[in-house]
Amino acid sequence: MEESYKNILVAVDGSDQADKAFQESIKIAKRNGAALHILSVIEEMGNYFGELTMSMGTLMEDLRTKEEEEMKDREAKALEEGVAQVFTYVLYGYPKSLIADFTESKEPIDLIVIGRTGLNGFERLMVGSTTSYVVNHTKANVLVVNNVV
């Protein structure tokens, strides 16, 4: 008997790669009759800015408001394309660990769909990609969507 996915997580960050992963996750969710969980992580900035801390708080709230609006659009698109259940999450923290550990902290995710690269090129050079981290640290299956044609 062929196993199907029940809960699919797609990580989005506004990059082209994440958009491709989102499109692929919709197709997979429809084929499997699965719930689609869309996750965006706003990376928290430490209190390194002294007097700028107040303005950083405002910036973080502005980012959250913008991302919640984009998540509403993603949810509407997935529903419009035939996904039966869609859940959205905007979290603060470290993207690598929040995506990799999402299967343990939020929902029983059995597939993570993620783009090959995201927006943070500097971090990728210094400490490795978020995708690489997720592949090596999560318990769920991972589908890496490649934007290269």
CA–CA separation, 60 vs 149, rounded Å? Answer: 35
Query: What pLDDT digit, counting tens, does each position of 91-131 carry?
Result: 988 999 999 999 766 678 999 999 986 555 554 444 458 88
- All domains of the chain in start order, with CATH: 7-145 (3.40.50.620)
Are 25 and 113 in contact by the 8 Å Cβ rule? The answer is yes
Q: Checking DSSP bridges between strand 141-145 and strand 111-115, what pairing results, if any?
A: parallel
> pTM of the entire structure?
0.84
Residue range 123-132, pLDDT digits in tens: 444 445 888 8
